[in-house]
Structure 1
Amino acid sequence: MNILILGDASDAHAAHMKNVLTEAGAAVDYLDTCLFPRQLRLSWRPDTRVGWLTLPSGRLLNLEDIHSVFWRNFSGVGVAPLTDANQQQVAFNDSMSTVRSLVQACPARWINSWRAYQFHKEKPLQLSLAKQMGVAIPETLISNSPEQVREFVGTREKAIFKPVYGGAHTKLVTEAHLEPHRLDLALSISPVTIQEYIPGTNIRSYAIGESVYSAEIRSSALDFREDLEAELIPIDLPASVHKQCLAILKAFMLEWTAIDWRVKPTGEYVFLEANPSPMFVHFERQTGFPITQKLVDLLMS
């Protein structure tokens, strides 16, 4: 059974999955798209939908022979530097188009898929869909308008801000952030996500297939990802929230995900985001939840 891991050995989670899948009897290779087109070879026939992948090791795989792919991270392509900027852009576009096409054409089971990855990049749409499903979300503004940002913040006791796409931790909005020159400059560079601050408790739920595993994350940090000492306490979700986890999994085109919630003092669960390629090894070690085994089961089924 041929299984690929999208990523490389420098990622601890990718290496972890390669080890456990190999121990389970699969033939496992990394699919590191950064090595395309210099070391990784891809070929595909749109008329017959037959394709081949030649790994840097020289191993040749027919796309039909790839059973499944574990999506750890997608790093784009690694086009060699060229002196002509136009040629460089053409080479990059051609390489990315080839990789994007092959990822979607490969008939293997993807955990998770390109469509799920693309949808995750549009986090405002993710929030909107959750709301349409009847899931509570924070009051949220995505904007690069200083006037709209000041109005939104001014009508709430506390507000937080974070990137629209991701890549940085959540911070509280302060008066210094709203200083006119600073705010105008920041918003001329990029828009921002502003949300109401929700007092309460952080909950992370891993939904895998038909299973859901959840834990309270006890931390004094505004963004628990900054707290290496955060305590993880396994919990049972309310039945309604358990159902919402599985509904989110399906609606977001996911095979597995980590869903972050904020639970108000009233007990209401508020959805923050669903990650299609979350870190999980530390969570698993602290809680004892069988996340790795569930992933192995998905990839080998």
Structure 2
Amino acid sequence: MRQTVLIIGKVETPEVRHLMQQLTRHSYRILVLDTSRFGSDSFISYEPERASGWLRVNHEEVAFKQIHSVFWDQFYPFNTNNDQPGIHGNNPHDKYSLLEVLFQQPHIRWFNSVTVMRSHKCKPWQLTLAAQGDLRLPATCIGNHPDRVRLFLNKHPDIIIKPVHGGRFTYRFRKDQDQAPHHTGQASAQAAGQEPATLQQYIGGTNIRSYLIDDYCFCGELQSSYVDFREDSHTRYRPHTLPDELVRQGRALMLRLGMHWGAIDWRLDEQGHYYFLEINPAPRFAHFETISQLPIAATLARCLCAKAGVSF
């Protein structure tokens, strides 16, 4: 029985393309489930009394029991082009419920699971677990409590402001310097407790990113004059070796979060201290792999095709 590696995402994204190229070197069938198309060119059937399910994607059908592993790149919202959801089955709650049957299959090796993806939406708790694992964090205040936010701003006049949930870019706010009007207005709103935000003490230094895949660690320095290197199209890569103790602590955090793989962003200050910023269970890696030439996609492909309990 030929086993399948399922990718949740879109074929046209760089990460999915890179991974598919590497997966073709293995004997597994590759299917890509674009959740935005669920109900139009992808379908699920499930029989509870037999605990048997089938997934069809673009006229290819696979039984749940034939799905060896799943790589979660991105879940896309359903297309809703129908004006009569009740008649034509466009109810998003029903679709989520049907997909959930697939997401809960215990025999599948998930990189990463739906539980992990949901927990990533609560970054404050993620930071708590990192601190409990003895990772160093910048001084941080998260919330929309106006008095607490003002106290933090008074104590730390040079800060980074970023969203609680993630997705948008970050910026630096210095209380004693003129700011761009947008930043000043946003910081004032957050200081007044109108908008939830993550406020962190600004740490001078450089950016370190590490990708952890089961027992592997790929790391590099990302040099940029921007506060958020993702905005800098000229970010420069330099090889970097993460200290063994930090690799161990990073893996321990991944294990506690139930992750098989992820990327950790660190800030390395001038004194050589590493500050944990966040861990992402579905990070972008195609550009990093291109500039670093590190075999991230190849390693992911090998781990996705490995038997349970086997590492390369």
Structure 2 CA distance for partners of 1:47 and 1:185, relative to 1, 3 Å: farther
Structure 2 CA distance for partners of 1:213 and 1:179, relative to 1, 3 Å: closer
Q: Aligned residue for 1:68?
A: 69
Q: Which amino acid aligns with 2:55?
A: L
Taking the aligned partners of 1:50 and 1:186, their CA distance within structure 2 comes to 53
Q: Does 1:195 align with 2:197?
A: no
Q: Aligned residue for 2:33?
A: 31
Match among 189, 196, 199 for residue 183 of structure 1 = 189
Structure 2 CA distance for partners of 1:179 and 1:222, relative to 1, 3 Å: closer
Q: Aligned residue for 1:214?
A: 219
Taking the aligned partners of 1:60 and 1:87, their CA distance within structure 2 comes to 25
Taking the aligned partners of 1:184 and 1:270, their CA distance within structure 2 comes to 24
Q: Structure 2 unaligned runs (5+)? A: 176-180, 307-312
Q: Compute the displacement of 1:145 (Å).
A: 2.5
Q: Which amino acid aligns with 1:92?
A: P
The structure richer in helix per residue is 1
Taking the aligned partners of 2:249 and 2:139, their CA distance within structure 1 comes to 19
Q: Which amino acid aligns with 2:173?
A: V
Aligned residues: 298
Q: Compute the displacement of 1:184 (Å).
A: 6.5
Aligned partner of residue 237 in structure 1, secondary structure:
coil
Taking the aligned partners of 2:136 and 2:186, their CA distance within structure 1 comes to 32
Taking the aligned partners of 1:271 and 1:292, their CA distance within structure 2 comes to 24
TM-score (normalised: structure 1): 0.90
Taking the aligned partners of 1:140 and 1:89, their CA distance within structure 2 comes to 45
- Aligned identity (percent) is 35
Deviations 1:10-49 (A, max 9, x none): 2111122122212433321111111122332112233332
Taking the aligned partners of 1:28 and 1:274, their CA distance within structure 2 comes to 27
Deviations 1:124-179 (A, max 9, x none): 11001101111111221111223322221111130111111111111112556566
Q: Compute the displacement of 1:50 (Å).
A: 1.0
Q: Which runs of 4+ in 1 moved over 4 A?
A: 86-90, 174-182, 184-187
Aligned partner of residue 303 in structure 2, secondary structure:
helix
Q: Which amino acid aligns with 1:272?
A: L
Structure 2 CA distance for partners of 1:186 and 1:251, relative to 1, 3 Å: same
Taking the aligned partners of 2:235 and 2:166, their CA distance within structure 1 comes to 21
Taking the aligned partners of 1:184 and 1:138, their CA distance within structure 2 comes to 19
Deviations 1:25-84 (A, max 9, x none): 3321111111122332112233332111111x2211110011111111111333443368
Q: Structure 1 unaligned runs (5+)? A: none
Q: Compute the displacement of 1:121 (Å).
A: 1.3
Q: Aligned residue for 1:274?
A: 279
Q: Aligned residue for 1:119?
A: 119
